[in-house]
Amino acid sequence: MADSTSFQQSNSLAAFERAQKLLPGGVNSPARAFGAVGGKPLFIERAEGPYLFDIDGNQLIDYIGSWGPMIVGHAHPKVIEAIEAAVKKGTSYGAPTGAESELAELIVDSVPSVEKLRLVNSGTEATMSAIRLARGATGRNKVIKFSGNYHGHVDSLLVAAGSSAANLGVPDSPGVTPGTSQDTIILEHNELAAIQQAFRDHGDDLACVILEPIVGNMGCVPPKPGFLEGVRDLCTKHGAVLIFDEVMCGFRVALGGAQEVYGVTPDLTTMGKIVGGGLPLGVYGGKAELMDQVLPAGKVFQAGTLSGNPLATAAGMATLKLLRDESPYAYLEEQGARLAEGLAQAASAAEIPHQIQRVGSMMTLFFNAEPVHSWEQASKCDKELFGRYFWGLVHRGVYMPCSQYEALFFSSTHTPELIDKTIAAAGEVLKEIA
Ligand code: KE4
């Protein structure tokens, strides 16, 4: 374990200085800028297995895993081998390949509710396309989403809860027009009564409900018992499309994702992250009768120059084959339970109010005295304390997600020894910052 005195980041600071002259905030995605934890981001040189190596020579046990994709560890030999074989044949053709069907078959075999699918280039593209398909297929306009759920930077979903009476969204990001968000209804997550009311108010104009079946984007928030079943029943009753955004929990909590864990079947599923093995790839898929309404089979437009890219499909296929053939989920569950127990004991020993919420190898240590079932509770976490926890661990060679509102992930390459090292480091830090 790195001792907290050896850590330094002068090269990262210089790199960040340079990047800020070229990129807004010095990053290509805001989550990486450390805005939620303070300080300046670490610039990464390379990664292998459970480790990140930054440009100052710090070795870090990685609990972000590229925000989810790296479930089999960084630079897995079989994934690298698949990409190397693919790249020797070129990088993109703009024409169909057999590899796209092979990856599609792997996904269809893993996620029974997905009969047909489209490969796209990101989770955002997947959710944007699924919403458009739901609206095109039903001829309806309104969409229900839940506060604290994130579905990528889709204009119509970048809205915060608006006036409490109507619950109609209002633009949350400049550039999202009222015209775009007027059909978005924001509800409190895990609250069935609110959805029942929304269906009473808007039922015949509700195209879809989109949600993270296991929320990762306000920290890890599993569904309350009956919540997913209740949403499913309401969508069925009113003819609205149920979209499970499994970009994060897909292939993470089980080969069949959250819908396998909870036994609730959506009409459409969006995926990303793991399905691309760390390369740009997203998926939306579901019932054939729905997917066949996408151009050119149907009339709902969606397209992409690099959709089904040979390198991304190769990385995705290699990763899904590893998950199918080696099935690391029992191991991940066992190590997840140990890590959760260890972090909880460390926080209790430091007498810090906390909640540990976990599904498999995704979890969050909330600095909150109350369980977190929705954004209303999540927003009350001690974010300042989380920042000190994050940096205390970085100085000890452990790289947690840089926000209280993100889930941590670990891989099948995180050994029990590394889990124990992480728990020990967390114990030191939590005592220090309490
Ligand atoms: P991308 O467009 O970032 O591939 O996927 C968007 C997305 C959609 N749905 C869910 C449930 C997601 O979690 C995401 C992306 N997640 C964030 C962090 N939780 C990615 C990190 C980032 O934005 O840099």
pLDDT tens digits, one per residue of 250-262: 999 999 999 999 9
Give the residue among 60, 287, 30, 294 at the shortest CA–CA distance from 150: 30
Atom from ligand 1 closest to the CA of residue 123: 5
Q: 164-168, 324-328, 400-404: which range is least confident on average?
A: 164-168
Nearest alpha carbon, ligand 1 atom 8: 151
Instruction: Render pLDDT for 315-358 as a digit per residue (tens, 0 to 9).
Output: 999 999 999 999 999 999 999 999 999 999 999 999 999 999 99
431 is catalytic: no
Helix residue spans in 327-403 (DSSP H): 329-349, 375-378, 383-394
Q: 57-61, 158-162, 270-274, 374-378: which range is least confident on average?
A: 158-162
Give the Cα-Cα-Cα angle 308, 31, 33 (nearest 5 degrees).
125
Q: In what order do the strands lie in the sheet with 355-359?
A: 355-359, 362-366, 408-409
Tell me how far apart the alpha carbons of residues 330 and 325 are, in angstroms, rounded to a whole number.
Answer: 13
Tokens standing for residue 411: 């891989």
**Among 273, 359, 364, 405, which is best to mutate for testing ligand 1, by the most ligand atoms less than 8 A from CB?**
273
What pLDDT was estimated at residue 158?
86
Q: Would the CB of 281 count as within 6 Å of ligand 1?
A: no
What is the mean predicted confidence (pLDDT) over 422-434? 98
What pLDDT was estimated at residue 160?
59
Full set of structural domains in the chain with CATH: 4-63+328-433 (3.90.1150.10), 77-326 (3.40.640.10)
4 — pLDDT class (breaks 50, 70, 90): low
What pLDDT was estimated at residue 353?
98
For ligand 1, the distance from its centroid to the CA atom of residue 220, given in whole angstroms, is: 14
What pairs with residue 119 in β-bridges? 283
245 is catalytic: yes
Does 30 score more than 60 pLDDT? yes
